[in-house]
Structure 1
Amino acid sequence: METRKLILIIILSTSLLLLWESWQKEIQPPAQVTPGVVSGDGNNQRHDPLPVPGDELAGASQSDVAAGIEGVAPSITPNLFEIGEKIQVTTDLVVAEIDTAGGDIRKLGLLEHPSREDETKPYELLLDQAARFQISQSGLIGDGLPSHKTKYTLDSNKYHYELGPGEDSVSVRLLAPEVDGIQVAKIYTFHRGTYVIDVAFEIVNHSDSTIMPFSYFQMFRDAKEPAGQGFLVHSHTGPALYTEEEKFLKVKFSNLDKNKAEYPTNADNGWIAMLEHYFLTAWLPEQGSPREYFIKRLAHNQYTAGVIVPVGAVEPGQTKTIDMPFYAGPQEQNKLAELSPGLDLTVDYGWLTVLAKPLFWLLSFYHSYVDNWGIAIILLTLTVKLLFFPLSAAGYRSMAKLRVVTPKLQRIREQYASDRQRMHQAMMEFYKQEKINPLGGCLPILVQIPVFIALFWTLLAAVELRYAPLALWITDMSVPDPYYVLPLMMGISMYIQSKLSPKPTDPIQARIMQIMPIAFSIFFFFFPAGLVLYSLCNNILSILQQWQITRMLEKKAEAEDEKKSKGKGKLSGKNASSTEAEEVEEAEDKRETKQLTHSDAAKKEESDIEDAEVIETREEAPKEVKTSPAPEKPKPKQSARGKGKGRKGKRR
């Protein structure tokens, strides 16, 4: 009873924790950003100094390079960002907003991915609000060169750009103030059919001296996680980078707060990104060129991650351009690998990536034919189930055998209840006698667990399921079922499956088996509908397979019992026939014995008569003549029955 209470308390506490977390997300106000320290005049100060290349990349001391940017002071503003003129760019995939203050991309909405708050609006991956912000910044490092603090002007008076029919790209050109004969233009180029934006700096040297600038490209954001993250469904939010030497590496904001973040800085390959569930932003430098990565905490709830790339020498009268691709879009696994090596690793499958990738490929293959991600999930689950059918069959066959012999096991437990060692020995002997492996039902299932976990994470990380409908009320398989129909069906399927499994002889285990369907149903209330659909389909297929195998074994057992019963009947018939024969033989023996008894009596009577006659003859003979009696001829032996007849004839 105490164990049952403990189990119920644990389940109730977990359920309350999940409900509390969900309720807090609904009612809590947006987190307020603390942009930094407060200056003397009461205005908030944003801590965003320019990045400085290290000695290895610069070929000089940091103080020498930093000397060129000492005149740029941090901006002081009552808002988080300086506000300039807004330039809107619309393509077939994105709608972006560029601010002339810093020449940053302040907003970027994904037209094919609706917002959770308002489905009529695109999801804003880049945003410059205090409640949630992430922006793209870039600039040059060098004396008098423009940075993300520079006020740019438009090369034209056009404030709205749209990718028209038949156009493959559209460009926005911003001009920085000319300083000491150095003219710089910042150029954004948006392309059709891709989320990659080319960011370029065009440097024209009208001075009399050679300059050697550096360029930097960074993401600046807060640590707030996107909507939908929770205790059961969680993915990495924060910086990540990739190099061929160190491979894929994620950096936690908490480690940056503690100054414990470790990551490679100098390389000639790789990329750097900011990740969140389903989406990412990333700078993709050209492979083979030197670069320096940096990830920093600027202030409370302010983080930056980027890359510094040398521009090289710009001689007097020379024009030089440096270009950097910027990706801002969904984590589409099939397309990311084509952009840069290792970029597809941002789709976070954890340590089961090796298994998850082929599963997603198969899921996409089915979707290309049925054009419904829900049906594709069902087909994928069916395929995985068929692949593991032999293993599952072996496991369920062993479980079915255990289910048949459970009453016998229970009797063994009751018989040796006071001696656990003797009970264990008796059970092992029983398993050996019945040719049952007690672990046979577990091992085949354990082999399948990594595959099912990989499939779980595949569905969890797939942005393709975001706002992907199944049918009827399920219009988005990346969020929980709004009416909890699938979780309830999942609980029912688990209950049915528990009934098909061997009934535990241990009362504590039996209680756990009764409570598990309820507990798991509560967990599945908070799972995305796509995950619940997969689990439900897997359970239904498992129930059908387990029922079929159990029924087959039960029929086989019934046939064997019937065969044994018939064998016992034949044996009983044989015993009855032999008994009758024995009775007949015994009767004959008795009759013969009786006849023999009568013959013996007659034989004795005949012998007595003959003796009497001999005596009488001796008395009549003369006393003086002594004659010897003639010797008697031996009489032939007769059967008792023959002797009797002779004697009877003589009497007549």
Structure 2
Amino acid sequence: MDNQRNLLLAVVLCGLLLFGWDAGMNYFYPQPKEPVPAEAAAGAPGDSPAAPAKPTREGGLTDPAAIALEERDLETALKSPERVRIDAPELAGSIDLVGARIDDLTLRDHRQTVERDSGPVRLFSPAGTPAQHFAQFGWLGEGVAVPDAKTVWTAEGGPLAPGKPVKLSWNNRSGQVFTIDLSIDDDYMISAKQTVGNISGRPIVVRPFATVSRTSATASTSTYTIHSGPIGYFGDGVDFGTDYDDVAEAGKISPDGAARWIGFTDIYWLSALIPQGTTEVDADFRSLGGGVFRADAIYDPLTVPNGRAISRTTQLFAGAKDADLLGDYEDTGIAGFQNAIDWGWFGVIEKPIHWLLNQLYNLVHNFGVAIILLTVIVRVFMFPIAQKQFASMAAMRAIQPKMKAIQERYKDDKPRQQQEIMALYKSEGVNPLAGCLPILLQIPIFFGLYKVLMLSIDMRHKPFALWIHDLSAPDPAHILNLFGLLPFTPPSFLAIGPLAVLLGISMWATFRLNPPAADPVQAQMFKIMPWILMFVMAPFAAGLLIYWITNNLLTLAQQSYLYSKHPQLRAQAIKDKEDREREAKREAKAKS
């Protein structure tokens, strides 16, 4: 009766895990609904978009009305003649001469979706649009006319490209000339040299500043494992502890420590300001209301004597969080820039996995195959440990009669029983925990690969084969709707694809090959667990399932080999199974 009750409880807990997991995945990683054509969603001019939808993993607008309004606003704003074009290898867009705003940036090498005609990812959009996100450079001053958001600047040069700088200038007609010299590299870094020249006949005091403003409506999902939101390097490390809600509640947050860079991050994208050298700045995050936030870098006051000019240079990174590229920028002196990727506690494992995956990809030119090769390398590395595990299992089998004798002899004295068993382990040279070591070592590797697949821009939209077009996304094929033949999308807890089924089958096979558990309830749990995990793992990235399936297949091959090297384990496992079956038949016969 106790066994039946325990089994029923186990089934109920597994059901709660299954449905609870689905609810959790929908909460933390909501998926946008199928997009509605812009023409159908546009509505009348001047209509406001609906309230922002819950963030998705990649971020961006998901409400059809907001998407249509964004397209309409961009079409109007980007037609302005008061713009200077940006034409760099990785960035395209324009600079608004009204306010000297960099507010139009798209990433040439990254598409919005896996579809090849989906268009480039848009990172920056002008102020007032539903997806507003832009950078601005200027000055604060007392007793001196400084440029503001409505100032119309004069441009020299253009388009902005590597080796082709653009100079913006404005004369306040009171003896001061303000200039912003913009340059760009081959990747995502824009440099802005802000200079003020003074010929007014008296000294003036100004404070150069740089800001990045954005709406949280386009933010990617932020979870306890992957940060999205305000970010920066303050003091001696990167701060992942501040989110949009914190800033909205406080109104203004000024992190402790000297700011080496400050901005906003999504899972894949980063917009950050890097002040000049080790120059002190006042760095803070502000809520501007309506879900709009700003990161400020305000330099200390500068006294500009008559007849002199003083400059400050700020860099703006606006692009994809490519680990190697961020590392290259870090090598130039930008502190902790590679840690803009939220590697977390297992960064010491994740970074080598990321490096090895990239090396394997360069070799085979397919990240799916690279993941399979990575799994093989991990298993080869762990094979000596697995051999020790099986040797320990064989030793444990050999001392079973002695253990049973001790348990029988001291059945009424549990402390003495435990003491004698430990003495037996020591005298026989057996470590009962040795079998757990491979599992414990696999946990950080599995989590490390999970973080790499979730965070690395290298994995985004990378195909494997057949129907797997994005290894960082779940398996798109669903058995329940006959792989798309039926006109509905199953709920995520029933969205089982071929990869999930292969995972369940391969895990069931590995459990079958292991020695059966002595406890009947535990044995039943092992029978159910592969199929529960099949449902739990289905919403995970396809690349992660490929890793686990490959790992299970290699485990089967490894266990078959090791059983051949330790035949006593196989023989004992068969004997134990036959004994349990005979015992179960006797119990059933006695009850009848």
Smaller-chain TM-score range? 0.7 to 0.9
Superimposed CA distance per residue, residues 591-626 of structure 1 (whole angstroms, 9 cap, x where no aligned partner): xxxxxxxxxxxxxxxxxxxxxxxxxxxxxxxxxxxx
Partners in 2 of 1:145 and 1:404 — Cα distance?
90
Counterpart residue number, 2:250? 259
**Is the aligned partner of 1:285 residue 2:275?**
yes
Counterpart residue number, 1:359? 353
Q: Once superposed, what is the RMSD of the aligned Cα atoms?
A: 4.0
More displaced 10-residue stretch of structure 1: 481-490 or 306-315: 306-315
Counterpart residue number, 1:122? 120
**Is the aligned partner of 1:213 residue 2:198?**
no
Counterpart residue number, 1:96? 93
Would the alpha carbon gap of residues 398 and 89 (structure 1) be closer, same or farther in structure 2, given more than 3 Å must change? same
TM-score (norm 1): 0.67
Would the alpha carbon gap of residues 187 and 332 (structure 1) be closer, same or farther in structure 2, given more than 3 Å must change? same
Partners in 2 of 1:299 and 1:197 — Cα distance?
28
Counterpart residue number, 1:497? 510
Q: 2:307 aligns with which of 272, 296, 317?
A: 317
Residue 308 of structure 1: CA displacement?
Answer: 1.3
> 8 Å contact 2:252–2:287 — kept in the other structure?
no
> 8 Å contact 2:160–2:166 — kept in the other structure?
no
Residue 435 of structure 1: CA displacement?
Answer: 7.3
More displaced 10-residue stretch of structure 1: 446-455 or 334-343: 446-455
Partners in 1 of 2:462 and 2:192 — Cα distance?
32
Would the alpha carbon gap of residues 261 and 184 (structure 1) be closer, same or farther in structure 2, given more than 3 Å must change? closer
Residue 392 of structure 1: CA displacement?
Answer: 2.6
Partners in 1 of 2:415 and 2:303 — Cα distance?
87
Partners in 2 of 1:330 and 1:405 — Cα distance?
58
Alignment of 1:529-608 (within 5 A): 529-554=542-567
Would the alpha carbon gap of residues 509 and 254 (structure 1) be closer, same or farther in structure 2, given more than 3 Å must change? farther
Superimposed CA distance per residue, residues 386-432 of structure 1 (whole angstroms, 9 cap, x where no aligned partner): 222222332344457778999x99999x999x989699879959986
Counterpart residue number, 2:580? none
Alignment of 1:78-157 (within 5 A): 85-116=82-113, 119-120=116-117, 121-128=119-126, 130-143=129-142, 144-147=144-147, 149-155=149-155
Would the alpha carbon gap of residues 162 and 204 (structure 1) be closer, same or farther in structure 2, given more than 3 Å must change? closer
> 8 Å contact 1:172–1:188 — kept in the other structure?
yes
SS of the residue corresponding to residue 313 of structure 1 reads strand
SS of the residue corresponding to residue 514 of structure 1 reads helix
Partners in 2 of 1:28 and 1:110 — Cα distance?
21
Counterpart residue number, 1:249? 239
Counterpart residue number, 1:639? none
Opposite residue 94 of structure 1, the aligned amino acid is: L
Would the alpha carbon gap of residues 169 and 265 (structure 1) be closer, same or farther in structure 2, given more than 3 Å must change? farther
SS of the residue corresponding to residue 304 of structure 2 reads coil
Residue 109 of structure 1: CA displacement?
Answer: 0.9
Would the alpha carbon gap of residues 302 and 358 (structure 1) be closer, same or farther in structure 2, given more than 3 Å must change? same
> 8 Å contact 2:393–2:569 — kept in the other structure?
no
Would the alpha carbon gap of residues 479 and 409 (structure 1) be closer, same or farther in structure 2, given more than 3 Å must change? farther
Opposite residue 109 of structure 2, the aligned amino acid is: E
Counterpart residue number, 1:304? 294
Residue 487 of structure 1: CA displacement?
Answer: 2.3
Partners in 1 of 2:397 and 2:133 — Cα distance?
58
Opposite residue 153 of structure 1, the aligned amino acid is: W
Counterpart residue number, 2:319? 329
Give the aligned length: 502
Partners in 2 of 1:545 and 1:443 — Cα distance?
16
> 8 Å contact 1:270–1:284 — kept in the other structure?
yes
Residue 293 of structure 1: CA displacement?
Answer: 1.3
Partners in 2 of 1:546 and 1:360 — Cα distance?
28
Partners in 2 of 1:266 and 1:316 — Cα distance?
34
Would the alpha carbon gap of residues 530 and 225 (structure 1) be closer, same or farther in structure 2, given more than 3 Å must change? farther
Residue 344 of structure 1: CA displacement?
Answer: 0.3
Would the alpha carbon gap of residues 461 and 210 (structure 1) be closer, same or farther in structure 2, given more than 3 Å must change? same
Counterpart residue number, 1:237? 228
Which entry has the higher C-alpha Rg, 1 or 2?
1
Would the alpha carbon gap of residues 246 and 429 (structure 1) be closer, same or farther in structure 2, given more than 3 Å must change? closer
Partners in 2 of 1:537 and 1:146 — Cα distance?
63
Counterpart residue number, 1:26? 33
Alignment of 1:159-170 (within 5 A): 161=159, 163=161, 168-170=162-164
Would the alpha carbon gap of residues 463 and 181 (structure 1) be closer, same or farther in structure 2, given more than 3 Å must change? same
Q: 1:11 aligns with which of 14, 17, 37?
A: 17
Partners in 1 of 2:257 and 2:176 — Cα distance?
29
Would the alpha carbon gap of residues 363 and 153 (structure 1) be closer, same or farther in structure 2, given more than 3 Å must change? same
Residue 274 of structure 1: CA displacement?
Answer: 1.1
TM-score (norm 2): 0.74
Residue 177 of structure 1: CA displacement?
Answer: 5.2
Would the alpha carbon gap of residues 431 and 513 (structure 1) be closer, same or farther in structure 2, given more than 3 Å must change? farther
Matched-pair identity in %: 25
Higher relative contact order at CA 8 Å, sep ≥6: structure 1 or structure 2? 2
- In structure 1, list runs of 5 or more residues that go unmatched: 35-78, 562-652
> 8 Å contact 1:403–1:503 — kept in the other structure?
no
Partners in 1 of 2:398 and 2:561 — Cα distance?
15
**Is the aligned partner of 1:511 residue 2:524?**
yes
SS of the residue corresponding to residue 311 of structure 2 reads strand
Counterpart residue number, 2:195? 202
> 8 Å contact 1:225–1:237 — kept in the other structure?
no
- In structure 2, list runs of 5 or more residues that go unmatched: 37-48, 54-72, 478-496, 575-592
> 8 Å contact 2:136–2:210 — kept in the other structure?
yes
